[in-house]
Structure 1
Amino acid sequence: MASSHPTPVSPAPAAGAAVVEIAQDETLTGEAVALDVQPVGFFLRIVGALIDLVVSVLVLIAGSFLAGWLLQSGVVDAAALPIVSVVLVVTVLVVVPTAVETLSRGRSLGKLAVGGRIVRLDGGTSGFRQALIRAVAGVFEIWFTLGTVAALVGIFTPRAQRLGDLLAGTASERTRTRPLPPPAPGLPAGLEDWARSADVSRLPDRLGARVGQFVRTADALDPASRLRVATGLAEAVAPYVAPRPPVDAETLVRAVAAVRRDREYRALVWERERAASLTADR
């Protein structure tokens, strides 16, 4: 599982200092902290956009019926029909999306449905300027081209950003956080100092799941099977643990499971707190 906790980044490393690389799908805050946030996937973005598109079409149809009724009732002169039509189109395609995205802090109906939110590239809440740029760009890339441009651009960008996102400096971030990991046995005694500096972040997710399953079921295994499985897992995780503590195989596996679970728990709690903080004024 990718870590979601903040990773300090040196903005101007001195000669000989280690440089921390920022991946394209990470968010770099104004304080030079890399946030490994979870972007909304390409197909989910399409689903959310289709929901918003259907809502906009329904509003446009309702507005057309209202304009027709005003014209028939004599409230609006026939000569003003072109002006009313332009105002209606601009309102539905630009004004309404901008207002909804600004007031909801990046969450339209479609984004609510797929569990997403539009945020700035530094992780902050999207504002009026970003919403306006996205709405204006959407007239071309979504409405005039039937979403073709938005889809093509989204395929080739790391966070499935459309053209409006690239112009506004925004991205769609997942707000539905993953469930907290199941409880794991505590850290073996005597490894507290090692755990504070241990690096297990490179451990593959699939192998990490096997380790977690073992420590939860180890007590139910017969001693021979338990030793055999622990030895195999210890050999598998050893290349991903630095430094490796001088302990037996089962203790190593239990220590890695405890450290990994603890760090995943803290990262997911932080991710939930950050998602909740986006609803507050910044």
Structure 2
Amino acid sequence: MSELVTGEAVALELRPARLPSRALAVLLDLVVAVAVYVAVTIALVASTSSLDGAAQTALTIASFVLVLVGGPIAVETLSHGRSLGKMACGLRVVRDDGGPIRFRHALVRGLIGVIEILMTFGVIACIASLVSARGRRLGDVFAGTLVVRERVPFSSAGFVAPPPPWLAGRFSGLDLSAVPDDLWLAVRQYLARTGQLDPRVGWAMAERLAADVAARTGAPVPRDVPPPAYLAAVLQERQAREARRAFGGTPAADGAPWSVPGAPVAPAAAVQPPAPFVPPTAPPPPPSPAVRPEVPRDAASEGRPGTGFVPPA
């Protein structure tokens, strides 16, 4: 696996092609090119039989250059690094930064390929490919290119399991700005390959990574949270924050990591947690006796019990 960094600072994980697959692709390309060259030569000999020897030699050299040198250059330029042999083997020529090649890359590869492939029968190309850490021949080194594998076997090792539900939103208050990207990459790679590790080795790696993350966040790992679950929960929190920044979402009312604007959200009254029960410290005071309202009386009803009725004025 080779990690390439593009101009936008995006890390790409590419699989460089090794010598057997590259040799098979070159062999298929040479078979096709030689077959075309033989056909073109026969056609030229038949059509230029009336010319002298010098003219026939010049046409033979021109056909050799056009078919065996110009042909591969044109094919790689038009197909963006995929010749017939590379398509059959699932290979492609890309730049060092992972981008598609252009005419100048194909031209340098083709011109140097005449020396290290055609004139030396591939000996120099094989030696350079074996010495190079990424299997590059001299044409790739001078052109700034790399041959990579396009058809990679599917693997479920990149799947990161979510954290336990009881950890949802627990680390929403952590300051994750001081955690570097290489540490996040190490955490993600560990979580993606935790099923392939020895249990003791995986637990030791989780403890070390959790300690590194906790040292950058300034908050220790909770004692009741296992290190793998802590790493998964913190990684999910970081992904939720990146999603909120990218899509403009806000934290949901039900404690979900994030929500997109316009998406239905449950009412706040339906999802608010109940208030904790607090037992009373003292019995409530007895109710005060009711006070009877004063009944207005007139001068004529002095000394008699009031009826509560006031005649109109």
TM range, smaller chain: 0.5 to 0.7
**Separation in 2 of the partners of 1:28 and 1:153?**
24
Out of 103, 108, 113, the residue aligned to residue 133 of structure 1 is 108
Match of 1:65 in 2: 42
Structure 1 residues 210-240: Cα deviation after superposition (integer angstroms, max 9, x where no partner)? 63479xxxxxxxxxxxxxx988743342123
The answer (yes or no) to whether the contact 1:134–1:165 under 8 Å persists in 2 is yes
CA-CA distance at 1:30 after TM superposition:
4.3
In the TM superposition, residue 107 of structure 1 has moved relative to its aligned partner by 1.3
Per the alignment, in what secondary structure is the counterpart of residue 107 of structure 1?
coil
> Which sections of structure 1, spanning at least 5 residues, go unmatched?
3-24, 215-228, 267-282
Task: Indicate the SS of the match to 2:80.
Answer: coil
In the alignment, the residues of structure 1 paired with residue 136 and residue 32 of structure 2 have an alpha-carbon distance, to the nearest angstrom, of 21
Length-normalised TM-score, structure 2: 0.58
- 2:162 is matched by which residue type in structure 1? P
Code of the residue aligned with 2:13 in structure 1: it is V
Bigger RCO (CA 8 Å, 6+ sep):
1
Alignment-mate amino acid for residue 191 of structure 1: F
Do structure 1's residue 38 and structure 2's residue 21 form an aligned pair? Answer: no
Q: Which amino acid is 1:41 matched to?
A: A
Residue 134 of structure 1: how far off its partner (Å): 0.8
CA gap of 1:82–1:129, structure 2 versus 1, over 3 A, is: same
Over the aligned positions, Cα root-mean-square deviation in angstroms equals: 3.7
In structure 2, distance between residues paired with 1:231 and 1:123? 37
Q: Is the 8 A contact 2:187 2:231 kept in 1?
A: no
2:77 is matched with: 102
SS of equivalent to 1:243: helix
Partner amino acid for 1:201? L
1:63-83 deviations in Å (ceiling 9; x for gaps) = 2332343246x5x66552211
CA contact (8 A) 2:159 2:192 kept: no
Larger helix share, 1 or 2? 1
Evaluate the alpha carbon distance shift between residue 54 and residue 253 of structure 1 in structure 2; reply closer, same or farther with a 3 A threshold: same
Q: What residue number does 2:4 align with?
A: 27
Classify 1:95/1:210 alpha carbon distance in 2 versus 1 (closer, same or farther; 3 Å). Answer: closer
Q: Which amino acid in 2 is paired with 1:234?
A: W
The equivalent of 1:51 in structure 2 is 28
Alignment of structure 1 residues 1-282 onto 2, 5 Å: 26-30=3-7, 33=9, 35-43=11-19, 44-71=21-48, 79-176=54-151, 179=154, 181-182=158-159, 184-186=161-163, 188-189=167-168, 190-192=170-172, 199-202=183-186, 208=191, 211-212=194-195, 233-241=202-210, 242-244=212-214, 246-247=221-222, 251-256=226-231, 259=235
Gaps of 5+ in 2: 215-219, 243-313
Q: Distance in 2 between matches of 1:231 and 1:138?
A: 50
Aligned sequence identity (%): 33
Q: Give the partner amino acid of 1:35.
A: A
Question: Who wins on radius of gyration, i.e. which is larger?
Answer: 2
Aligned pair count reads 222
Q: 1:135 to 1:183 in 2, by over 3 A?
A: same
